[in-house]
Amino acid sequence: MDRHSAVYRFVMVAVMTAVLEAAKFALNAIPNVELISLLLMVFTTHFGWKDTMKSALLFAVIESIWWGISIWTITYFYVWPILVLICSRLDDSVSVLFRSFVLGLFGLLFGLLCTFPTLLTAGLNAAVAWWIAGIPFDLIHGVSNFVLCLLLYRPLVHALARIRKARASEV
């Protein structure tokens, strides 16, 4: 990898992370409606899983610094990377509808995935209770992920493709 390519990738990871933070901040007032899942899917498709993984982990670090270390910020260190790995298995031929189902299922299972720190610190009963109490939020998360992906996946991918094309013509 040449020096310019390394700098470009470094900057892209920083920009992806900034976009994730801006998207999180923009929708903070709406419980369990988020663009992070969709953006990680789009970024994985466009930039590859390695750079997207760096951005997901950097996002988790920034969230932990901003909000403080807590059970939910700890989960970001494994939940978002799991999503990046899942998205890395989807090739370009996968339909937007299937991608929407993947993100919808991820949203439905988000609370379950987040129970592991509670399981380790408070036991099985507390983890199950915490998960069950969050099911209404997981339903909102799953439905909103599905709808947002269905509506925004293709426009976001096209926007990134136009940016890549413009960059290629400049170089």
Which tens digits make up the pLDDT trace of 54-104?
Answer: 999 999 999 999 999 988 889 999 999 999 999 999 998 999 999 999 999
At 70 the pLDDT is: 87
Q: Which amino acid is at 1?
A: M
Asked whether the predicted pLDDT for residue 13 surpasses 60, the reply is: yes
What is the model's pLDDT at position 158? 95
CA distance 135 to 155: 30
Identity of residue 31: P
Question: Do the beta carbons of residue 76 and residue 64 sit within 8 Å?
Answer: yes
Residue closest to 104 by CA, chosen among 18, 38, 10: 38
Look at residue 48 in the predicted model and tell me its pLDDT: 95
Domains and CATH numbers, the chain: 3-170 (1.10.1760.20)
Look up the pTM and report it.
0.94
Residues 6+ apart with CB under 8 A from 4: none
Is residue 1's pLDDT more than 60? Answer: no
Sequence-separated (6 or more) residues with CB below 8 Å from residue 8: none
The answer to whether 61 and 13 have CB atoms below 8 angstroms apart is no
The string of pLDDT tens digits covering residues 96-123 is: 999 999 999 999 999 999 999 999 999 9
